[in-house]
Amino acid sequence: MDANKAEKSTASRLAFLKYFAALAAGCVNGLFGGGGGMLVVPLLTSFGLTAKKAHATAVAVILPLCLVSAVIYIVKGCFDMQLTLAVGGGVVAGGIAGALLLKKTDNFLLSMFFYIVMIGAGIKMAVGR
For 25-54, the pLDDT digits (tens) are 778 777 776 667 778 888 888 888 898 898
Q: Which of 109, 93, 103 is nearest to 53 (CA)?
A: 103
pLDDT digits (tens, 9 = 90+) for 56-75: 888 888 888 778 888 888 89
CA atoms within 13 A on the CB side of 6: 3
Biggest alpha carbon distance in the chain? 63
Using only C-alpha atoms, what is the Rg of the chain? 18
Count the Cβ atoms, other than its own, within 10 Å of residue 124: 10
Residue pair 97/34 in contact by the 8 Å Cβ criterion: no
Cα gap 126→100, rounded to integer Å: 32
Residues contacting 66, CB < 8 A, separation 6+: 29, 34, 36
The answer on pLDDT for 124 being more than 80 is yes
Report whether pLDDT(129) > 70: no
Higher per-residue pLDDT: 129 or 125: 125
12 touches 23 (CB < 8 A): no
More confident residue, 106 or 69: 106
Mean pLDDT of 69-85: 86
Percent of the chain with pLDDT over 90: 10
Q: Which pLDDT value is given to residue 34? A: 67
